[in-house]
A and B are shown apart, each in its own frame.
Chain A
Amino acid sequence: MQKEIINAIKEEQSHLKKALTEENPELTFFEEFLRKIDFANINTYNNISIEELIMAYVKSRDDSLSLEKIKEIADNIVPIFEKCTSGEIHALLQLIDDFATADNYEEIMEALYSEYRTEVLEEFIEDCSGIEEQDYVLPAARIMEENEKIIEFIETFHENPDVWGYTLLLVCTFYQIKEQMQSLQENNQKRSMLFPMVPKDTLEESYDVSAIKNVAKTIPRYLNKLRKKQKENKRELEKEVEAYNKILDVLKSPIEEITNYRVYIAGLSNPKLRLEILKEIYRRNQRYYEEVEKRYNDQVEKSEVGYETLCQKYKLSNINIEKIMNRYSYKELEGILSTLKEIGIQDLATAIEDTSLETVREIVGLLDKKIISIDVIKATPDIWNTKKAYPKRISDNVQRIKQITGSDELYKTRSWVTLIESSILEKNLNILRQYNLLGQLHTTTNYQFLQQQSLEEKIDLVLELGRENELTHNLGLLNYESTRWQRLRILEMLNIPVDEEMLDGTLHTDHFLVPDEKVNEYLDIVPLPKEISLNPEEIMESSRTYIYRGIPFSKNKVRRNLSLLGKENPDYLEVLTTGRQFSQKEVAIMKENYMK
């Protein structure tokens, strides 16, 4: 693009330079004309032709006609004048003037152009004959009759009678002078033959040219005018060439903003080229602006002001700007904040404490896939913490849940379960499977127990407290701490029964006979006496427990005991009772009638 415009400019410059060197034919003509003739010196009058005189005078009086046009007119009438005397030319001038300035000019011209021209003119001659003041009509009309060009000239005369009137006057005068010159020459010749010593008569002595000079003064004035205009044009052209040079310099220089484009194009005459130059300036300036914009953005990103502005935009106050600047690039921070704001996160300050754009996007991706809900995200302020790697944990847990439970119901219902530490979640889901309790997940919507460390022991305790049925009806009972469950033992000690309807309330209330942290102090747990033995025939089963005389034992615990004890022939009692607490009452029941 730039190359094209530079070439166009150079081409324009060369046109201008060429114009500078070109001759002005009009100026040349007038220079030449006035070099040949000096209107103050009658002897120079013969140096010019009548056509030249007409051309110079008419042009000097009427600039609207071109020299070529004037010459054309002159060429039509001068040959006719050559055949006339000065008197006849004068008569012709008068008649032309009469016709051209008559009130009924149109009528006259119509008649003169008709086929009856001769008759019309003869009639006119006849009308004017005998009138002394009109004795010019006869010779003039006769010339007109014979020369149609004169008729045509009348029209030209009509357009500017003043100019053409004086022109013909001058012409007439020049012919007169010519005649006089000839006559003088002849007389001088004759006299010199008779009287050789007698000085010759000169034209200057007999002819006063001051009137001619006065009339013809327009010619040298016109020449001056032409000279002035020529000078001006030259100056303009040179200025324009220089203006293009400046533009070329600017366009060739390294990219900088061009600001005084109006000045550059002011002196240019070519509108098309002006527009192209402006377009090029626009393109250049755009490149410059892009660079400035980039530098500005880079600076903003490095500057505290930029970060502060960004934080203010997101209404983050009381934030450690230096820490944020060290942690995130400007763009990353902007991306993080806009994404968080878009999904409705209010506590942006906490969210950006230690996160990354990648982490944010991963979590938003999980949100979009409805794997995790926005409520859970908002309730977990550290979910954005990159170190905690929640996205991976969530994805892993989704797989685990599907694999172990066979469906996605669990996390669709309560997506927060995907936030549980993966190993714990997997372990607890497998525990539920071992206790055949996975099918009871639907009995609750509170899955807090899935993140417990000791879920297995909890289930064993619940079973040992005889609450297997209640558990299968409401798996959410596992959310109560073991110390809460021990309340049932306390109430048993006080002979206070707790039926299924009362169970949840008993475990739920914060107000109990004994503070939770002290429950164990009040339990009447006693060691199983060594002398106790079991009657295997009295052992019954439920789906998850063995029951001996109404005392439940967790089947899974018994199985674990089997492998723990590692004996080939383990003792029934040991396998059944290892790891279980017994109340006094339970010991008494077991002791009854069955001692070693």
Chain B
Amino acid sequence: MSDTSFETVDLEKITEDKLLKILDENRKKALGLNQKLKELQETPKKPETLTPPSSVEKTVQEENTFENEIDFYLNNLNSITQNMSEEDIMHLLPPRRKANYQEIILRLKLECMKSLRELREFMEKEDSLKSEDLDSIQMGVELERKKLETINQLLLLQPIEKEESSIKNHFVFVPTSGGNIRVLDEIDNIPTEFYTSFMTLFQSIQDGTFKGVKRFTSNVKIAGISEVRDVANQTRVVFDRIGPDTYAIITAFTKNVMQSHGYNEQLERKIGNYRSWLPRIKENLKNPEFLKEQELYEQELWNKLNSSEKGQMGGLRCKKK
């Protein structure tokens, strides 16, 4: 509110001149006040004014990368069969030099224990099980025990202190519908500053550490396929396990947006393309020529990725696979 105070005086000792001056000043103030009052009385009531702007809440779900890894290795664990060799089983489990190896293994142990308990509870609960069902459950129990035993053995091992490439997975490169090797074409179109990141990703598939691995589960069209990710650089390599130590490399790309309509469609198309090639690929897994060809592609991949690294490192020889 404006200052509407009117001057007051002690009338006892005031002179005529001073009193006239005060009367003049108060009159001026009253004039102003009456004007303001008139304005207020004439001002029409405004319609409802501003409402607080609705804040758009962005829900960002934090990805649990550990759970993604567990999902990946659990899927591997679940593919273990009774007849599988120990070597093959080791290929499915994380390498000991992986940073969170211990955690993954302990979790996998818990998963096995959980499965065992569930089977046991099921058997105890269901009184009227047929014998073939009982046999099936019993086999499941034995399989879980086998997995558990393997894990327990691993837990007894000392952690590895230095780098060891005990695992070396193999790549099979998925062609496009036109017959080109998709990933090699894609690498050519990706800026070279991302090559180091892609190098890391491919190496992690090869050594079994599977950096930032995540299995696709939400979309039926791509379910079961996995990707390794460098979240910081937003680089991804999509792959699928097609053998104990063999991985189909489906596509590689940089991704800026977590969810984008175009990205999902593209991915579905590429994976769909892969699935169409899969039977032929599996047929050729024992074909030495096919495998040799894949090795050449792999070398080409490393060469491409290394060419950037060489430039960055000023001409030093990079690691050859």
Q: Give every chain A residue within 8 A of B316 (Cβ-Cβ).
A: none
User: In the complex the two chains form, what is the Cα distance from A214 to B30 in whole Å?
Assistant: 66
Contact B48 A494 (CB under 8 A): no
Q: Give every chain B residue within 8 A of A305 (Cβ-Cβ).
A: 40, 43
Within 8 A of B (CB), among A285-334: 285-286, 288-289, 292-293, 295-297, 299-300, 303-306, 308-310, 317-322
Contact with A along B100-134 (1 / 0, CB 8 A): 00010011011001100100000000000000000
Least CB distance from A284 to B in Å reads 11
Contact B4 A296 (CB under 8 A): yes
Contact A274 B16 (CB under 8 A): yes
Contact B46 A514 (CB under 8 A): no
How many B residues have CB within 8 A of the partner chain? 43
Contact A275 B49 (CB under 8 A): no
A-B contact pairs, 20 of them (CB 8 A): A261-B20, A262-B20, A278-B19, A282-B19, A285-B27, A293-B6, A296-B36, A296-B40, A299-B41, A300-B40, A304-B49, A306-B1, A306-B40, A321-B49, A496-B106, A514-B110, A522-B113, A522-B114, A524-B113, A524-B117
Whether a CB of chain B sits under 8 angstroms from the CB of A281 is yes
How many A residues have CB within 8 A of the partner chain? 48
Contact B1 A293 (CB under 8 A): no
Interface of B: prevailing SS? helix
Contact B20 A521 (CB under 8 A): no
Contact with A along B42-63 (1 / 0, CB 8 A): 0101101111110000000000
Quick one: which of A259, A286, A309 contacts B6, CB cutoff 8 A?
A: A286
Quick one: which of B1, B37, B117 contacts A309, CB cutoff 8 A?
A: B1
Given contacts A257-B27, A490-B110, contact A275 B40 (CB under 8 A): no
Contact B50 A295 (CB under 8 A): no
Least CB distance from B48 to A in Å reads 5
User: In the complex the two chains form, what is the Cα distance from A515 to B69 in whole Å?
Assistant: 13
Q: For residue B114, which residue of chain A has the nearest CB?
A: A522
Whether a CB of chain B sits under 8 angstroms from the CB of A585 is no
Least CB distance from B141 to A in Å reads 15
Total A-B residue pairs with C-beta atoms closer than 8 Å?
A: 113
Whether a CB of chain A sits under 8 angstroms from the CB of B160 is no
Q: Give every chain A residue within 8 A of B4 (Cβ-Cβ).
A: 293, 296-297
Within 8 A of A (CB), among B89-106: 103, 106
Whether a CB of chain A sits under 8 angstroms from the CB of B26 is yes
Given contacts A513-B103, A515-B64, contact A297 B1 (CB under 8 A): yes
Within 8 A of B (CB), among A414-430: none
Whether a CB of chain B sits under 8 angstroms from the CB of A271 is yes
Given contacts A306-B40, A522-B110, contact A300 B23 (CB under 8 A): no
User: In the complex the two chains form, what is the Cα distance from A317 to B52 in whole Å?
Assistant: 9
Q: Give every chain A residue within 8 A of B117 (Cβ-Cβ).
A: 524
User: In the complex the two chains form, what is the Cα distance from A200 to B113 in whole Å?
Assistant: 178
User: In the complex the two chains form, what is the Cα distance from A282 to B1 in whole Å?
Assistant: 25
Q: For residue A524, which residue of chain B has the nearest CB?
A: B117
Q: For residue B116, which residue of chain A has the nearest CB?
A: A524
Q: Give every chain B residue within 8 A of A490 (Cβ-Cβ).
A: 110
Whether a CB of chain A sits under 8 angstroms from the CB of B232 is no
Whether a CB of chain A sits under 8 angstroms from the CB of B301 is no
User: In the complex the two chains form, what is the Cα distance from A303 to B51 in whole Å?
Assistant: 19
Whether a CB of chain B sits under 8 angstroms from the CB of A225 is no
Whether a CB of chain A sits under 8 angstroms from the CB of B266 is no
Given contacts A296-B33, A494-B109, contact A320 B67 (CB under 8 A): no
Contact A296 B16 (CB under 8 A): no
Least CB distance from A333 to B in Å reads 12
Q: Give every chain B residue within 8 A of A292 (Cβ-Cβ).
A: 30, 33-34, 37
Contact B114 A293 (CB under 8 A): no
Q: Give every chain A residue within 8 A of B64 (Cβ-Cβ).
A: 515
Whether a CB of chain B sits under 8 angstroms from the CB of A596 is no
Contact B6 A282 (CB under 8 A): no
User: In the complex the two chains form, what is the Cα distance from A365 to B48 in whole Å?
Assistant: 35
Contact A281 B23 (CB under 8 A): yes
Least CB distance from A309 to B in Å reads 7
Q: Give every chain B residue within 8 A of A494 (Cβ-Cβ).
A: 106, 109-110
Quick one: which of B23, B37, B45, B114 contacts A278, CB cutoff 8 A?
A: B23
Least CB distance from A75 to B in Å reads 46
Whether a CB of chain B sits under 8 angstroms from the CB of A530 is no
Quick one: which of A261, A275, A349, A521 contacts B23, CB cutoff 8 A?
A: A261
Interface centre among B14, B37, B53 (most CB of A within 10 A): B37
Whether a CB of chain A sits under 8 angstroms from the CB of B83 is no
Q: Give every chain B residue within 8 A of A319 (Cβ-Cβ).
A: 49-50, 52
User: In the complex the two chains form, what is the Cα distance from A349 to B52 in whole Å?
Assistant: 10
Contact A279 B51 (CB under 8 A): no
User: In the complex the two chains form, what is the Cα distance from A281 to B27 in whole Å?
Assistant: 12
Contact A493 B110 (CB under 8 A): yes
| Besides A278-B16, A310-B1, 18 other A-B contacts (C-beta < 8 A) | A261-B23, A278-B19, A278-B20, A282-B22, A285-B27, A286-B6, A292-B34, A297-B4, A299-B37, A303-B43, A309-B1, A318-B50, A318-B53, A349-B52, A496-B106, A514-B107, A515-B67, A522-B113
Whether a CB of chain B sits under 8 angstroms from the CB of A511 is yes
Least CB distance from A280 to B in Å reads 10
Quick one: which of B22, B26, B45, B114 contacts A304, CB cutoff 8 A?
A: B45
Contact A320 B48 (CB under 8 A): yes
